[in-house]
Structure 1
Amino acid sequence: MPSFVTPQQITLNYQTFGDPKHPALLFSNSLGTNLSMWQAQIEFFQKDFFVIAYDTRGHGASSTATQPFGCAELAQDVIDLLDHLQVQAAYFCGISMGGITGQWLACYFPDRFKKVVICNTAAKIGQAQAWQERAALVRAQGLQPIAATAASRWFTENFVKNHPDVVQALSENLAAGSAEGYAQCCEALAHTDLREEIAKIQIPVLVIAGSADPVTTVADGQFMQQQIHGATLAEITASHISNIEQPERFNECLKGFIV
C-alpha cells in the first residue's frame, strides 16, 4: 500500500480506488479499526468516485506520533493527504473517531470539502476520565482486553450471531493493532469537545446515526443536526459500526447525499 510522511512526521498509509478524474470521496476509520472497514463502500463507490481510504495515525500501517496530539492534528493529516494526492476539494465520510475528525474539518477547512458525512459519532464522545483510563489500560495490558469486548459495542447481538467471521476479523485486527497508537487516540478524544464549535459549520453535512448504537446515540446525532446549520439526519437500524452492519442502507444514505 502507498504511504507518505506528512509535515507532522506521521507515516500515513492510504489506498486509492477508481479514476482520479472523478470526484474525490475520502473515508476516515473508527477507533481500533483500519481502512479495510470501508470495503463495502469502496466496492460501491469506486466506479463513480476517486475513493481515498487511509489508516488514522496509530492505526493499521500508519505510524504512531512521538508527542501528544488532538483533533486538530488528526484533521491536519487529512489535509496533508489531500495535498499529497493533489485533491483540492473532496467529499468526506468519517465514522466515530473519523466523524470527530470530519466535524473539525468542516469547521476549519470548509473550502477543502464539498460535503461532509459524520457517522456514529458525537460532538463530544464519552467522558475524559474514561478515555484516560482506557489509554492507561491498553498501555498496561495491550489491546486484547478491549478486543475481547469490542463486538458488543460495535454490533447488535443479532449481527454478532449471524456474521461471526466478520466480527472475528475486526476483533483480531483490533487486537493486533498498536496499543500506543490506540492509547494516543483515546487521549485525543478525551480532550475533544466540539459542541459549541460545530455551530459555525456552513457546508452541507449529513449525520448518520445507528438506532441501536450504545456509544454515540441517536440523541447525539440529533444534537449535531440541530447545532449545524442545514444538517440532515439519517437513522440506520444498526449499532456503532453501521457501515458494516447495514452496508446497503449506509451506501444508499451516503449516495443520496453526495450525488
Structure 2
Amino acid sequence: MAVHYCSEGDTSRPTLILGTSLGADTSMWDPQREYLLDAFHLVTFDMRGHGRSPVSPETPTIHDFADDVVWIADALGVQRFAFCGLSIGGAIGQSLGARYSDRLSSLVLSATGMTIMTPPELRKRADRVLAEGMQYIADVSASRWFTEAFVNDNPEIVRRHMKHLREMNPQGYADACLALSTFDGHGSAGQISVPTLVISGDLDIATPFAKGRALADAIPGARFELMPEASHLCNVESPELFSKLVKEHILVAG
C-alpha cells in the first residue's frame, strides 16, 4: 500500500528507515535528524491511518505494515537498508527481520517486545476509540510515553505529541491496535539473522524493559541496551544517547 514517507539526506549514504510508535507520525523522529543525518540517508514514514497516510482498506496486520516498508524501499530504489522501529515499529521490525533478511543490513528494535499488551486489552482499546474518539487516549498517554520529570520539564514537547494523538483518525489507531493484537513474535524472533540491537527504557511502563530483554535473548546474537531514566519514547527523552546507540550499531554492522 502507498503510504506517506519522507526521504532526507545524502542518498549515497546507508539508508536508515525509522518506524514510529502507535499513535505517532514522522515528527516523532525530529530529535534524531540532528544526530543521524550526517551518517545516513534517513527515511521516515506514517503507518496506515497515521499522519498523512490513508486508512487501510481492510484491517491490516503487522506483516502488512512491514510490506509497506519494503514498498517504500522499492519506491526509492533502495535494495538494502537498516531499520529502526519503536513500539509497534519494533513489531514491524521483527516482521522485516524474519521475512526480509535479504533486504536488511541491520535492525534496531526499541521499546518493544515479542508481544505488546494483551489481545483483549488491545481489542478493548480499539473498540473504545471507535466509540468515543481519541481524547481519552491523549489524556492517558503522556504518563505512559514520558517520565514524570520529562513531562514537567518539557510541557511543549508533550503537548505537541498529545495534540497529534487527539487529532488523528480513530480508525487508523484502532486498526493498529488490532494489528498488534494478532502479533506474536515468539515463533519468529529466532528466525531473525541480521545484526540486531534491542533498546529499552528502564522506566518504560507501556512496554517494560523485561520484554525487550526477552526479545534480545530470543534473537540469535542480538545485543540489549537499557537506557537510564527513560520511558517509552526514549528517542525523544534522550535523543543523543538513543541516536548514538543506533548509529554505532548500524555503522559497525555495515
TM-score of the superposed pair, with normalisation by structure 2: 0.97
The aligned residue for residue 3 of structure 1 is none
C-alpha distance in 2, partners of 1:217/1:253? 19
Instruction: Tell me the SS of whatever aligns to 1:93.
Output: strand
Is 2:93 aligned against 1:106?
Answer: no
Q: Deviations over 1:145-175 (max 9, x none)?
A: 1001110000010100000000000000111
Which fold has the larger relative contact order, with Cα–Cα distance below 8 Å and residues 6 or more apart in sequence? 2
The aligned residue for residue 222 of structure 2 is 231
Is 2:190 aligned against 1:199?
Answer: yes
Contact 1:216 1:240 in 2 (8 A): yes
Q: CA RMSD in A?
A: 0.8
The aligned residue for residue 241 of structure 2 is 249
The aligned residue for residue 204 of structure 2 is 213
Report the CA distance between 1:256 and its aligned residue.
1.6
Instruction: Tell me the SS of whatever aligns to 2:4.
Output: strand
The aligned residue for residue 176 of structure 1 is 167
Is 2:16 aligned against 1:25?
Answer: yes
The aligned residue for residue 148 of structure 1 is 139
**Structure 1 range deviating more: 90-99 or 249-258:** 249-258
Instruction: Tell me the SS of whatever aligns to 1:195.
Output: helix
Question: Which 4+ residue blocks in structure 1 deviate beyond 2 angstroms?
Answer: none
The aligned residue for residue 92 of structure 1 is 83
Report the CA distance between 1:200 and its aligned residue.
1.2
Contact 1:15 1:52 in 2 (8 A): yes
Gap runs ≥5 in structure 1: 1-5
Aligned pairs for 1:3-14 (under 5 A) are: 6=1, 11-14=2-5
Q: Which amino acid aligns with 1:246?
A: S
Q: Deviations over 1:229-255 (max 9, x none)?
A: 000011112000000011111011111
Q: Deviations over 1:101-149 (max 9, x none)?
A: 0001000000111000000001111110110000000001111110011
C-alpha distance in 1, partners of 2:131/2:175? 13
Contact 1:17 1:42 in 2 (8 A): no
Q: Which amino acid aligns with 2:71?
A: D
C-alpha distance in 2, partners of 1:218/1:180? 29
C-alpha distance in 2, partners of 1:111/1:164? 42
Alignment counterpart, residue 157 of structure 1, candidates 148, 172, 175: 148
Alignment counterpart, residue 114 of structure 2, candidates 123, 127, 133: 123
Report the CA distance between 1:43 and its aligned residue.
2.3
TM-score of the superposed pair, with normalisation by structure 1: 0.95
Q: Which amino acid aligns with 1:221?
A: G
Question: How many percent identity over aligned positions?
Answer: 36
Report the CA distance between 1:257 and its aligned residue.
0.7
Gap runs ≥5 in structure 2: none
Alignment counterpart, residue 49 of structure 1, candidates 21, 24, 40: 40
Q: Which amino acid aligns with 1:39?
A: D
Report the CA distance between 1:217 and its aligned residue.
1.3
Contact 2:35 2:240 in 1 (8 A): no
